[in-house]
Amino acid sequence: MKEELRLDNQLCFRLYTASRLITQAYTPLLDELGLTYPQYLVMMVLWEKDCQPVNDIAKRLFLETNTVTPLLKRMEAEGLVERLRDEADGRKVLVRLTAAGRAMEAAAASVPEGLAGALRPCRSLGPDTAPVLFSTLDDIIATLK
């Protein structure tokens, strides 16, 4: 077998596995809020800046609008967001937080610390190494997008 085809030598496999396991670590934290991980990402985008077009939310999350739209419909049914037509451009759909969605931000403030607690045993990730990891991942994302 060629060395370059060994699973253990694949960056993609490590990134995929780490992503899956981190998402799994978020699950109990987000269950307390009644959110899925993709819903949590949308909420963070809207907590940063409320009332955004669907296209902007999709771009921020590196997703297609046809992936985000059903997610937003479920969130609207749950009373977290509302979708409305842009008065200036009726073709655009804006998404804005409801009072319940805004109130959830305070409860979600403990989620990052909860994940940090799950990662504490990781010896190679700490205050000094996290910025390097972020920078490396940002570089990979920028290169591939």
Q: Give the tens place of pLDDT for each residue, 57-99.
A: 999 999 999 999 999 999 999 999 999 998 888 889 999 999 9
pLDDT at residue 88 in the model: 84
Domains and CATH numbers, the chain: 3-111 (1.10.10.10)
Rounded Cα distance, 13 and 27, in Å: 21
Q: Do 71 and 39 meet the contact criterion of CB atoms below 8 Å apart?
A: yes
pLDDT at residue 104 in the model: 98
pLDDT tens digit at each of 145 positions of the chain = 889 899 999 999 999 999 999 999 999 999 999 999 999 999 999 999 999 999 999 999 999 999 999 999 999 999 999 999 988 888 899 999 999 999 999 999 999 999 999 999 998 888 889 899 999 999 999 999 8
Which has the closest alpha carbon to 54: 42, 44, 39?
42
pLDDT at residue 123 in the model: 87
Q: Do 26 and 40 meet the contact criterion of CB atoms below 8 Å apart?
A: yes
Question: Which residues, including other chains, have CB under 8 Å from residue 78's CB and lie 6 or more apart?
Answer: 34
